């Protein structure tokens, strides 16, 4: 049985980044769940901060550079995706959205996706539901039920209580691992049958 491919898209801008930290904790938890279930997993991290110039160039020219092309291929070929963005102005970051715009519009059809975000205050957590979840629903992805938001105060206690960050990470990771392990092994795209014009015309005449 071939290894499952997990792509982790993280849109943090600073170094170090709480967004990258959350992405790493989520990917570690998902990989652990899959391996405990007897599945191997290959994890590819797509750090959008390093691709910002390439993404901007692609939006203007329509041609991705080699690094961006590799990142796009990793996401489009993944069996599951973890998408993590900082929240700015009550929504995902512009860099995050710009990368999504680079993807083929059908690339994530049927792909399991775990959405997550970071921010300075818990008040921005609703951005996951009114911004990120609708975005991936529009892309026809299968979005895991549990979204994970980490505010600044979450990093202090790491969530020892039942509703804390650690518990949310574990629950979301279990959901994504389950979706990935039981995803039908298809590309998620429906092949289009092209009927030659002459054949269509003949059918009309004979009808």
The model's pTM is 0.85
d(CA 72, CA 100): 9
- The token pair at 97 is 């959205």
List, for residues 132-171, the tens digit of each pLDDT value: 999 999 999 999 999 999 998 888 754 444 458 999 999 9
Buried-exposed string 49-88: b where 16+ CB fall within 10 A, e elsewhere:
eebbebbeebeeeeebeeebeebbebbbebbbbbbbbbbb
d(CA 29, CA 144): 14
d(CA 5, CA 16): 26
DSSP annotation of 93 reads -
- Lowest-confidence segment of 48-62, 105-119, 131-145, 172-186 by average pLDDT: 172-186
List, for residues 20-53, the tens digit of each pLDDT value: 999 999 999 999 999 999 999 999 999 999 999 9
Give the rounded distance of the alpha carbon of 204 from its chain centre.
45
């Amino acid at each position: 049985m071939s290894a499952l491919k997990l792509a982790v898209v993280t849109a943090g801008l600073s170094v170090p980044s709480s967004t990258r930290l959350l992405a790493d904790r989520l990917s570690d938890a998902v990989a652990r769940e899959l391996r405990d279930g007897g599945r191997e997993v290959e994890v590819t991290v797509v750090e959008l901060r390093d691709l910002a110039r390439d993404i901007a160039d692609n939006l203007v020219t329509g041609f991705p550079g080699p690094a961006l092309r590799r990142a796009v291929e990793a996401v489009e070929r993944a069996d599951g995706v973890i998408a993590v963005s900082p929240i700015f102005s009550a929504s995902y970051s512009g860099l995050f959205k710009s990368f999504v715009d680079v993807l083929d519009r059908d690339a994530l059809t049927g792909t399991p996706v775990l959405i997550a975000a970071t921010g300075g205050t818990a008040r921005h957590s609703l951005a996951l539901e009114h911004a990120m979840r609708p975005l991936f629903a529009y892309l026809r992805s299968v979005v895991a039920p549990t979204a994970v938001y980490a505010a600044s105060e979450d990093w202090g206690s790491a969530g020892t209580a039942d509703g804390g960050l650690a518990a949310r990470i574990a629950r979301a990771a279990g959901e994504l691992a389950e979706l990935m392990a039981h995803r039908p092994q298809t590309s998620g795209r429906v092949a289009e049958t092209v009927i030659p014009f002459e054949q269509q015309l003949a059918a009309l005449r004979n009808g």
